[in-house]
Amino acid sequence: MTSVTGRRSAAELDVVVVGSVNLDLVARVERLPSPGETLTAHGVTRHPGGKGANQALACARLGATVRLVGAVGSDPLADEALALLRDGGVDLSAVREVDAPTGTALIQVDDHGDTTIVIDTGANGFVTTGDLAADLVLTVLEVPDEAVAAAMAASGFTVLNAAPARAVDEAVLRTVDLLSVNDDEHATLGRTADLDALPAVVVTRGASGATLYRHGREAASAEPPPVDAVDGTAAGDAFTAALALALVEGRPDDEALTRACAVGALTATRAGAQPALPTRPDLDAFLEGHA
C-alpha cells in the first residue's frame, strides 16, 4: 500500500488505468420503463464510454499524464470508442486489439438524468496487464479478476472502483489504497470482506453526496452543488477519478471530497459519458461559482 506525502499538482502525476472501453448507445426517454413496458425514445446517440476509459479521460482532462491498459475489437466500433481518448492525449499504446467485439453499453437516460445500463463486455473480457508503474493506478470491475489483482498489486496509490458490483477476493482488497463504491456495491463487498480494515473507503450516494472513511471511521463528507442533472452516466467515474487525483496531489480529505463531488455534479449536467467530463478550467470555474 502507498501513502501519500507532500503536495503535488496533477501535471506532475503519472496515472495508469486498467479498465474497460465501450461504445455507449444512449436512448433518451421521458422516464425509465417498467419490466415488460415499451417506451418511445426522444432519440438515440452514440458516445465513447466504459468505466475505465471514462476515468482515464477524466484524469487527463484534470491535468494528469494518463496511460490506459485495455482491449478493443478489430471492428469499426473500436476507433469510435477510442476517439475522445486520443483527442484528450491519453496514451493508448497498451490498448490491445483482440479477437472479440468492442465492448458496448446499452443505456437509457430519463428526463431527470437517471439511468439504466446493460453492458456487453466483449473485448474487455480479454484485458491483461503489463507495465503498471505510475503514481496512481485505477481499475474497475468491468475487466477480468486477474487484471484487477495485478492493478491493485502495483506500487503506486491504488484505487478500485468496485463496479459493477460483485465479490472481490479479500486478499486483493487488502492491497487497495482507496475503494470507491455506492451503497449497493458497499453492501455486496461487505458480505464477504471487512471493509473497515481498508485504509480508505468512499461511499457515494448520488445527489446526496459522499462519505470518506479511513479504517472504518468517517474522515470527511460532502454534498455536490445543486445542479440540473441531464445524464448521470459517467458522474461516478468522474467522481472517483477526481477524488483519487486530489488525494495523490496531497489535498486534505475534506477538500479532496468536495472537489470530487463537484466534478461528479458538473459531469451530470451534460449528455453522454466522455463528452460530459470536465476539464480543469471547467472545474475551477464551477467551484468559484459555487463558493
11-53, pLDDT tens digit by residue? 899 999 999 999 999 999 999 999 999 999 988 999 999 999 9
Q: Is the pLDDT of residue 6 over 90?
A: no
Q: Is the pLDDT of residue 289 over 90?
A: no
Delimit the domains of the chain by residue range. 10-21+50-101+125-270+282-286
Q: Phi and psi for 116 in degrees, rounded to 5?
A: -125, 145
Beta strands in 155-239 (DSSP E): 157-161, 178-182, 201-204, 210-214, 217-222
Q: Is the pLDDT of residue 2 over 70?
A: no
Q: pLDDT value at position 173?
A: 95
74-126, pLDDT tens digit by residue? 999 999 999 999 999 999 999 999 999 999 999 898 988 888 889 999 999 99
Q: Is there a contact between 227 and 282 (Cβ–Cβ < 8 Å)?
A: no
Give the CB-side neighbour count of residue 55, counting CA atoms within 13 A: 34
Beta strands in the chain (DSSP E): 14-18, 22-28, 43-49, 65-72, 91-97, 103-109, 115-120, 136-140, 157-161, 178-182, 201-204, 210-214, 217-222
> What average pLDDT score do residues 197-213 get?
95
Q: pLDDT value at position 3?
A: 60
Q: Phi and psi for 252 in degrees, rounded to 5?
A: -60, 155
227-286, pLDDT tens digit by residue? 998 888 899 999 999 999 999 999 999 999 999 999 999 999 998 889 999 999 999 999
Amino acid at 277: L
3-state secondary structure of 254: helix
Known catalytic residues? 237
Q: Is there a contact between 203 and 181 (Cβ–Cβ < 8 Å)?
A: yes
Q: pLDDT value at position 5?
A: 58
Q: Is there a contact between 244 and 259 (Cβ–Cβ < 8 Å)?
A: no
| Residue of 214, 152, 153, 165 lying closest to 192 (CA atoms) | 165
Q: pLDDT value at position 233?
A: 85
Q: pLDDT value at position 113?
A: 82
CATH node for 10-21+50-101+125-270+282-286: 3.40.1190.20
